[in-house]
Amino acid sequence: MKIGILFGGSSFEHEISIVSAITMQKVLKNTNLVNIFIDANRGFYLIDFKDMKSTTFSSGTYKKSPKLELTQGKFIHRGFMKSRDIVVDGVLNLVHGRDGEDGKLASLLEFYNIPYISPRIEASVLSYNKLFTKLYAKSINIPTLPYELLQKGDPHEIQMPFPIIIKPSRLGSSIGVSIVKEKSELDYALDVAFEYDDLLLIEPFMSGIKEYNQAGCYTDKWELSIIEEPQKEEFLDFEKKYMDFSRNHKAKDAPIPSDLADKIQNAFKAIYGSMFHGSIIRCDFFEKDGEIYLNEINPIPGSMANYLFEDFESMIQRVIKNLPNERDIVIDYTYINSIKNAKGKA
């Protein structure tokens, strides 16, 4: 099977995407990979396996690689003498943040009829915006933490008591996220977050809460990962998460009671539903006093959360074989022809 790894993009998480793509070279060892890099200007480049190292991109050396275009069902390299088709069985969308998770690439790949692993357009919109995620969770009766919204230009007034956590609504990887323990720290934290987004979520910071990660997908059956309890410090900043995204060693199953595991897995299945078919997602949950809360949906998790699965490579192939198909619409111009016939003219 030939799989295209699509990474980079015009995103604050551009470099994390590169790390995830490099990790995939180690994880998908028995798969024929085609590496397609999207630079900051949204140009597509075919990257040779030997060049899949961080300096290729940081130095700009990637610009020497063949530049690709999209056409129906494939990528194409237009050479001086002849063109070369780049056809894959499916594309793994590894563009974190904007472009990859907000629905732009999903729209583009569907428009050009290229099979892809990633949330479809509607699921991308719901999971990219943390506010929309909360509204979606509420609609399917999955609890989330209480929150307040703050838009750029609003007075810096927060109703909930400190400590609080401030999050840009449309960003991941802890970029722009701060824990604010007292009012004197508030203005600076808000200024930092507003550098990345015009809409912020304010949530209570709850000490003593436990966090669990559940990843999975639906192929012709449910394929759920182990449940991981991340061994974290009080807060993982961007740099620590950046390093975490290069993981390819197997995580340990959380030693939790079976009833708690059932709650987490049932909540995951409800969130995934039919909305996220065609994707491998990770949901991060909080647990306090036996109650489960959805923290966030990771529609394209770092290094695809490969470390949570027993046989990630085989699962990827099953996902590609069971991708949802867009409905065919037959255009036969019946309406226009009926008008033409009725009027007796073109």
At 98-112, the pLDDT tens digits run 999 999 999 999 999
What pLDDT was estimated at residue 247?
A: 62
Average pLDDT over all residues of the chain: 92
Rounded CA separation 173/177 (Å) = 9
Q: Is 231 exposed, middle or buried (0-12, 13-18, 19+ CB in 10 A)?
A: exposed
276: confidence class by pLDDT, cuts 50, 70, 90: very high
What pLDDT was estimated at residue 141?
A: 97
Chain-centroid distance of CA 94 in Å reads 7
Q: Is the pLDDT assigned to residue 234 strictly greater than 70?
A: no
Report percent pLDDT > 70 for the chain: 94
User: With left for phi above 0 and alpha for psi between -120 and 50, is residue 278 left, alpha or beta?
Assistant: left
Q: Is the pLDDT assigned to residue 241 strictly greater than 80?
A: no
Q: Report the C-alpha dihedral over residues 45, 312, 248, 93, rounded to 10 degrees.
A: 30
Rounded CA separation 319/279 (Å) = 8
Model pLDDT for residues 204-229, shown as the tens digit of each residue = 998 889 999 999 999 999 999 999 99
Rounded CA separation 311/317 (Å) = 11
Q: Is the pLDDT assigned to residue 131 strictly greater than 60?
A: yes
User: Which has the closest alpha carbon to 212: 197, 193, 227, 191?
Assistant: 227
Q: Model pTM?
A: 0.90
Please list, in sequence order, all residues whose beta carbon lies within 8 angstroms of the beta carbon of residue 148, skipping any fewer than 6 positions away.
158, 159, 160, 201, 202
Three-state DSSP at 216 gives: strand
* DSSP state, residue 144: B
Task: Return the percent helix, strand and coil in the chain, to nearest 5.
Answer: 35, 25, 40
Rounded CA separation 134/142 (Å) = 9
What are the structure tokens assigned to 142, written together?
């999955």
Q: Which of 3-17, 166-180, 228-242 has the lowest mean pLDDT?
A: 228-242
Q: Is the pLDDT assigned to residue 249 strictly greater than 90?
A: no
Q: Is the pLDDT assigned to residue 248 strictly greater than 70?
A: no
What pLDDT was estimated at residue 244?
A: 57
Rounded CA separation 119/117 (Å) = 7
Q: Is the pLDDT assigned to residue 236 strictly greater than 80?
A: no
Q: Is the pLDDT assigned to residue 43 strictly greater than 70?
A: yes
What are the structure tokens assigned to 71, written together?
């056409």
List Cα–Cα distances, 250 to 226, 242, 256, 274, in angstroms: 10, 18, 18, 28
Q: Is the pLDDT assigned to residue 78 strictly greater than 80?
A: yes
What pLDDT was estimated at residue 207?
A: 81
Model pLDDT for residues 278-329, shown as the tens digit of each residue = 999 999 999 998 899 999 999 999 999 999 999 999 999 999 999 998 888 9
Model pLDDT for residues 317-334, shown as the tens digit of each residue = 999 999 998 888 999 998
Higher pLDDT, 16 or 248: 16
Domains of the chain with CATH codes? 2-118 (3.40.50.20), 126-144+207-321 (3.30.470.20), 148-204 (3.30.1490.20)
Mean per-residue pLDDT, 171-177: 80
